[in-house]
């Protein structure tokens, strides 16, 4: 039986690395995984983990693929010996944290290039063949930051909102071709994401006014609290990718956690945005955690307080 050929971007760490391992070591042995990395010098952790997990020979291959470079994407595609990719996982991404006014143009451009244009480049490289073969699955790592605006994450959220529009548009078009697009919407996940933020960990603050700096400190305390309470391990998130992959009729969105669905619903039920903006502002910037009550968010039906996520 032909194996399912999977190509994943951004496998040096985090979700991409764990998904590559999970599929390559699947007991069914039905996956051939091309784990791609921006820089192959970073392949050590994946290689070592594959050895210790006992991934069967030939189940996992590493390729260089920088989503900012169309030639690199094309070269990776050419190295897929099966001549086809059944499942494409667009996972590569980078964060950017801090007040918008102090973000350097280079950093803004780089995050948009990786997260938005990079995903477009990858899709452009692989979709035509899927359409021609009238078969294919596309999984894209989405974020709560693509479903709701988060303070100090404006550019990152802009990039992830763009991904929502990109995927939703393709999901409408592609079913007649037998191609299905799904977003795996992640809440906070314990990965290297915070350390690998564009411009370095901690976020850019130089040049921000005192009041904004104070709000940023509150945001950071909130983020720590939310990670402490709600962060998932990448292994848990990869199971959601598998659920999407196994579905005979894939949905557009899968959620790694239900914790933030009340906020997603709030944005839809009050399209003016007033409820969401007020609730998120209170949740992030309230002086005391006790102020973040369910009542503050519009009633118990809204569930636990919201979080600022990636
Ligand atoms: N962690 C979270 O809380 C969270 C929440 C929601 C969504 N997400 C999304 O999940 C995805 C994976 O992130 P993660 O949490 O697993 O963090 P991560 O460990 O930092 O992984 C990000 C991966 O993207 C790669 N990447 C960055 N720029 C690239 C480029 N130009 N070309 C190819 N690969 C590139 C990184 O490679 P290098 O190491 O070489 O830079 C790394 O392998 C991202 O799209 C992120 O937005 C994360």
Name the pTM for this structure. Answer: 0.93
**Ligand 1 atom, smallest distance to 95 CA:** 47
Whether 92 contacts 163, CB under 8 Å = no
Whole-Å CA distances, 222 to 21, 45, 213: 32, 31, 14
pLDDT band of 199, cuts 50, 70, 90: confident
Residue nearest to atom 34 of ligand 1 (CA): 10
Q: What is the largest CA-CA distance in the chain?
A: 63
Quote the ligand 1 centre to 258 CA distance (angstroms): 22
Candidate of 14, 198, 241 to mutate for ligand 1, largest count of ligand atoms within 8 Å of Cβ = 14
The yes-or-no verdict on residue 3 having pLDDT over 70 is yes
pLDDT band of 310, cuts 50, 70, 90: low
pLDDT band of 287, cuts 50, 70, 90: confident
Cα separation, 241 vs 184, whole angstroms:
7
Q: Report residue 88: phi and psi, to 5°.
A: -105, 130
pLDDT tens by residue, 131-175: 999 999 999 999 999 999 999 999 999 999 999 999 999 999 999
55 is in an annotated binding site: no
Q: Check if 84 has its Cβ closer than 6 Å to any atom of ligand 1.
A: no
The yes-or-no verdict on residue 20 having pLDDT over 80 is yes
User: How many helices and strands in the chain, by DSSP H and E?
Assistant: 10, 7
pLDDT, averaged across the chain: 92
Give 226's strand partners.
Answer: none
User: What DSSP state is assigned to residue 27?
Assistant: T
pLDDT above 70 coverage of the chain, percent: 92
- Any idea which residues carry the catalytic annotation? 156
CA dihedral 196, 202, 206, 211 (to 10 degrees): 140
Quote the ligand 1 centre to 94 CA distance (angstroms): 5
Q: Check if 92 has its Cβ closer than 6 Å to any atom of ligand 1.
A: yes
Whether 88 contacts 126, CB under 8 Å = yes
Q: What is the pLDDT of residue 133?
A: 98
Cα separation, 263 vs 101, whole angstroms:
27
Q: What is the pLDDT of residue 292?
A: 46
pLDDT tens by residue, 52-71: 999 999 999 999 999 999 99
pLDDT tens by residue, 95-115: 999 999 999 999 999 999 999
């Amino acid at each position: 039986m032909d194996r399912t050929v999977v190509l994943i971007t951004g496998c040096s760490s985090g979700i991409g690395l764990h998904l590559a391992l999970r599929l390559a070591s699947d007991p069914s042995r039905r996956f051939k995984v091309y784990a791609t990395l921006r820089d192959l010098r970073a392949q050590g952790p994946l290689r070592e983990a594959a050895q210790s997990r006992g991934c069967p020979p030939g189940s996992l291959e590493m390729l260089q693929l920088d989503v900012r470079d169309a030639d690199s994407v094309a070269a990776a595609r050419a190295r897929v010996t099966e001549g086809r990719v059944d499942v494409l996982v667009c996972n590569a991404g980078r964060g950017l944290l801090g007040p918008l006014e102090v973000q350097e143009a280079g950093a803004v451009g780089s995050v948009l290039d990786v997260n938005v244009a990079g995903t477009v480049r990858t899709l452009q490289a692989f979709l035509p063949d899927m359409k021609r073969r009238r078969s294919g699955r596309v999984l894209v790592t989405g974020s709560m930051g693509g479903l709701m605006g988060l303070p100090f994450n404006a550019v990152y959220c802009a990039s992830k909102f763009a991904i929502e529009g990109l995927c939703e548009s393709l999901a409408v078009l592609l079913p007649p071709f037998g191609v299905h697009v799904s977003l795996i919407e992640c809440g906070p996940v314990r990965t290297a994401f915070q350390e690998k933020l564009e411009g370095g960990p901690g976020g850019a603050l130089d040049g921000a006014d005192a009041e904004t700096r104070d709000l940023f400190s509150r945001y950071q305390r909130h983020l720590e609290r939310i990670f402490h309470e709600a962060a998932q391990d990448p292994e848990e998130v990869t199971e959601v990718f598998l659920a999407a992959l196994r579905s005979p009729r894939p949905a557009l969105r899968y959620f790694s956690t239900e914790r933030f669905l009340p906020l997603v619903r709030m944005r839809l039920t009050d399209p003016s945005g007033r409820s969401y903006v007020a609730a998120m502002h209170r949740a992030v910037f309230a002086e005391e955690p006790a102020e973040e009550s369910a009542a503050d968010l519009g009633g118990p039906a809204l569930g636990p307080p919201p979080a600022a996520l990636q």
